[in-house]
Amino acid sequence: MTTIRPAKLTDIRELLSLINAYASQGIMLPRTEFEMAESIRDFVVATEVVANEEDERLVGCGALHFYTAASGEVRSLAVEPGLKTRGIGRRIMDELEREAQAHGLYSLFAFTYVPGFFRKMGYVEVDRDELPLKAWKDCLRCPKFESCDEIAMLKRLQPGPAPALHPLFVQLGETPQLPILRK
């Protein structure tokens, strides 16, 4: 049985193992122990009880990172490769979306190589220029910064016009064009 719960500091070793295995394939950004400890409250984990034991093992994770008072990013969504078709990713996403709605977020975005999964979750593909200027915080340290091939996805969580809370706020069709660093 799979359980979704908030991550704990004691999960960091297993989180790093799962995330950095994908990072070694160029699918995710690598994370350090320091980064994980600093952002542990953003994460939820999927765990399963080890057969005939009381111990649990981490089988998936995902993080909700706030960008503005109205928008957030789904990050580091990962499921053990052999368990990908069991609905664990969907359950992690459901939990992250519940948390986003509890905080009153208007929209969530993600950068992904698996757009089909996000489409099933109600996300739409958008031009990355329509999203908050993530480059200043995360993209500058990415090895693919100059040639990013991830697909930007967005999901509105609330109907109606987005509140104008911040100039970097996501609002399809009305977002100001932000400068993009390119050589």
Domain total in the chain: 1
- Asked whether the beta carbons of 71 and 170 are under 8 A apart, the reply is yes
Residue 177, in any domain of the structure: no
3-state secondary structure of 40: helix
CA 183/CA 180 separation, integer angstroms: 10
What SS3 class is residue 167?
coil
Residue 144 forms part of a structural domain: yes
The CA–CA distances, whole Å, from 159 to 105, 107, 132, 175 equal 11, 10, 20, 17
Three-state DSSP state, 37? helix
What percent of the chain is predicted at pLDDT more than 90? 57
CA distance 91 to 27: 21
Please name the residues in contact with 98: beta carbons below 8 A apart, sequence gap of 6 or more: none
CB 61 within 8 A of CB 44: yes
Would you say residue 89 has pLDDT above 70? yes
178 within some domain: no
Q: Provide the pLDDT for residue 176.
A: 40
Query: Cα(143)–Cα(129) distance, rounded to whole angstroms?
Result: 19
CA angle (85 as vertex; 80, 87 as ends), nearest 5: 90
Tokens of 57: 């093992």
pTM: 0.81
The residue ranking higher by pLDDT, 127 or 171, is 127
> CATH no. for residue 35?
3.40.630.30
129 φ, ψ (degrees, to nearest 5): -65, -15
> Is residue 15 in some structural domain?
yes
Sign of torsion over alpha carbons 57, 45, 30, 127: positive
Q: Which two tokens stand for residue 92?
A: 């992690």
pLDDT digits (tens, 9 = 90+) for 128-137: 777 655 544 5
Look at residue 56 and tell me if it is in a domain.
Answer: yes
Q: For residues 156 and 71, give the distance between their C-alpha atoms in angstroms, rounded to a whole number.
A: 9
**How far is residue 7's CA from residue 37's CA, in Å, rounded to a whole number?**
10
What integer pLDDT is reported at residue 164 of this predicted model?
57
Q: Answer yes or no: is 167 within a domain.
A: no
> Does 139 have pLDDT greater than 60?
no
161 occurs within a structural domain: no
Domain of residue 118, residue span: 2-156
pLDDT of residue 173: 39
Q: Is the pLDDT of residue 1 over 70?
A: yes
Encode pLDDT of 15-57 as tens digits. 999 999 999 998 888 899 999 999 999 999 999 987 776 788 9
pLDDT at 101 > cutoff 70:
yes
Mean pLDDT of 147-162: 79
Would 117 be classed as within a structural domain?
yes
